[in-house]
Amino acid sequence: MSSTKQRRTVRYWLVQIVQMVLIVTVISIAMDWYRTKDIPKQEAPPLSSVLSDGEYFDAIAQSHEQPVVVYFWATWCPACKFVSPSVSWLSDDYAVVGVSGSSGPNERVAQFMQAKEYRFENINDPSSDIMREWKISVTPTIYILRNGEVASITTGITTPIGILARIWLAR
């Protein structure tokens, strides 16, 4: 194969990849907008509870010190299997609290999190009352809170880089 033809082939595939990334990005942004259009985007609803480790957590109060990632998820959620490890990894360096909806009693959720080695703090929401108050219709949904307000919302599968970018933009 001549080097000119090889360069065209490489260029062709690079153009194809860039086009696919752009298409996926546009579709992802459109889906995020549609899924989150009914979610409050200014002042965040209250979110405080005693965590599984017995400590009291107030997401709004903590968001005045640093951005807080609020991760709405469920043990039965297929997409959460991809996002939860990223959230767990981020919880080592950032304020993260999970809200597990309709996932059963505290013991079941704690066992699930331990088996999966998830390290983020979690509020169990067995009857999904918190999820309804926050108007969550899709899991996973990730909020970034800053100064008591919603700085960012994303739904569905996202990457650690996507979450980090949202945290940094909220600073």
CA-based torsion, 27, 38, 138, 146: positive or negative: positive
CA angle 90, 95, 99 (to 5 degrees): 90
Residue 147 in tokens: 């100064």
* Beta strand residue intervals within 17-108, DSSP E: 48-50, 56-58, 68-73, 95-101
Q: Which amino acid is at 49?
A: S
Would you say 72 and 129 are in contact if contact means Cβ atoms under 8 Å apart?
Answer: no
Mean pLDDT of the chain: 90
pLDDT at 51: 85
Please give the Cα distance from 138 to 135 (Å, whole number): 9
pLDDT at 32: 67
State yes or no: cis peptide before 140, omega within 30 of 0: yes
pLDDT at 82: 97
Phi, psi dihedrals of residue 73, rounded to the nearest 5°: -150, 180
When divided into structural domains, the chain yields a total of 2
pLDDT at 40: 60
Inside any domain, residue 66: yes
Element (H or E) spanning 33, and its range? helix 3-36
Q: 54 with 116, same domain?
A: yes
Q: Is 74 helix (H, G, I), strand (E, B) or coil?
A: coil
Q: 33 with 85, same domain?
A: no
Question: Domain containing 2: what range?
Answer: 1-37
Q: 15 with 57, same domain?
A: no
Q: 134 with 62, same domain?
A: yes
Q: 93 with 158, same domain?
A: yes
Q: 95 with 155, same domain?
A: yes
Inside any domain, residue 60: yes
pLDDT at 39: 64
Inside any domain, residue 43: no
Q: 90 with 14, same domain?
A: no
Would you place residue 74 in the very low, low, confident or very high pLDDT band (cuts 50, 70, 90)? Answer: very high
Q: 69 with 31, same domain?
A: no
- Point out the least confidently predicted range of 35-39, 85-89, 109-113: 35-39
Would you place residue 65 in the very low, low, confident or very high pLDDT band (cuts 50, 70, 90)? Answer: very high
Q: 73 with 127, same domain?
A: yes
Q: 30 with 106, same domain?
A: no
Q: What is the mean pLDDT of residues 16-20?
A: 90
Inside any domain, residue 42: no
Inside any domain, residue 53: yes
User: The domain that contains 122 carries what CATH number?
Assistant: 3.40.30.10
Q: Give whichever of 8-17, 103-112, 151-160 has the largest mean pLDDT.
A: 103-112
pLDDT at 117: 98
Residue 112 in tokens: 């699930």
Inside any domain, residue 58: yes
Q: 85 with 138, same domain?
A: yes
pTM value surpassing 0.75: yes
Inside any domain, residue 100: yes
- Point out the least confidently predicted range of 42-56, 62-76, 156-170: 42-56
Q: 24 with 93, same domain?
A: no
Cross-strand partners of 43: 149
